[in-house]
Amino acid sequence: MTLAPPDGLLVLDKPGGVTSRHAVDRALRWFPRGTRIGHTGTLDPLATGVLVLCLGAATRLAEYVQRMPKTYRAGLRLGARSDTDDADGTVTPVEAAVAPDAAALAARLADFLGEIAQTPPAYSAAKVAGRRAYDMARAGRTVELRPRAVHVHGIDVLKYDYPWLDLKVRCGKGTYIRSLARDLGERLGCGALVQTLRRTRVGPFAAEDAVPPDADAAAARVRMRPVEDAVTDLPRVVLDETAVRILCRGGTVRPTGTVLREGEAAVFDRANQLVAIGFWSTGRQVMWPEKVLRRGP
Segment 111-134 shows an average pLDDT of 76
Query: What is the C-alpha separation between 182 and 193, in angstroms, rounded?
Result: 6
Determine the longest span between alpha carbons in the chain, in angstroms. 73
What is the pLDDT at residue 294?
77
Find the range with the poorest average confidence among 181-185, 200-204, 256-260. 256-260
Question: Which pLDDT band holds residue 1 (cuts at 50, 70, 90)?
Answer: very low
Question: Which pLDDT band holds residue 3 (cuts at 50, 70, 90)?
Answer: low
Averaged pLDDT score across all residues of the chain? 91
- According to the per-residue pLDDT averaged within each range, which of 41-50, 77-86, 122-131 is highest? 77-86
Segment 223-244 shows an average pLDDT of 95
SS3 188: helix
Q: From the candidates 7, 13, 25, 44, which is the catalytic residue?
A: 44
Segment 249-257 shows an average pLDDT of 91
Q: Which class would CATH give 70-202?
A: alpha beta
Query: What is the C-alpha separation between 142 and 47, in angstroms, rounded?
Result: 25
Find the range with the poorest average confidence among 76-80, 126-130, 139-143, 288-292. 126-130
SS3 148: strand
Segment 257-264 shows an average pLDDT of 87
Query: What is the C-alpha separation between 132 and 123, in angstroms, rounded?
Result: 9
Question: Which pLDDT band holds residue 41 (cuts at 50, 70, 90)?
Answer: confident
What is the pLDDT at residue 188?
98
What is the pLDDT at residue 187?
97
Range(s) of the chain covered by CATH 3.30.2350.10: 8-68+204-229, 70-202
Segment 254-277 shows an average pLDDT of 92
| 226 alpha carbon, distance to own chain's centre | 18
Segment 138-144 shows an average pLDDT of 61
Count H helices and E strands in the chain, helices first: 7, 17
What is the pLDDT at residue 107?
98
Does residue 101 carry a catalytic annotation?
no
Fold of 234-292: 2.30.130
What is the pLDDT at residue 39?
87
What is the pLDDT at residue 167?
98
| 194 alpha carbon, distance to own chain's centre | 18
Q: Is the distance from CB of 38 to CB of 54 less than 8 angstroms?
A: yes
Q: Quick one: what percent of the chain has pLDDT higher than 90?
A: 76
Q: 153-173 as b/e, with b when 16 or more CB fall inside 10 Å?
A: eebeeeebebbebbbebbbee
* 50 pLDDT above the threshold of 70: yes
Q: Is the distance from CB of 168 to CB of 158 less than 8 angstroms?
A: yes
Range(s) of the chain covered by CATH 2.30.130.10: 234-292
> By C-alpha distance, which of 195, 258, 222 is closest to 48?
195
What is the pLDDT at residue 125?
62
Query: What is the C-alpha separation between 66 and 40, in angstroms, rounded?
Result: 5
Segment 100-121 shows an average pLDDT of 96
Q: Quick one: what percent of the chain has pLDDT higher than 70?
A: 91
Question: Which pLDDT band holds residue 76 (cuts at 50, 70, 90)?
Answer: very high
Segment 29-37 shows an average pLDDT of 91
* 140 pLDDT above the threshold of 60: no
SS3 42: coil
Query: Phi, psi at residue 134, to the nearest 5°?
Result: -70, -30
Question: Which pLDDT band holds residue 297 (cuts at 50, 70, 90)?
Answer: very low
Residue predicted with more confidence, 136 or 231: 231
Q: Is the distance from CB of 113 to CB of 170 less than 8 angstroms?
A: no
Question: Which pLDDT band holds residue 145 (cuts at 50, 70, 90)?
Answer: confident
8-68+204-229: CATH architecture: 2-Layer Sandwich (3.30)
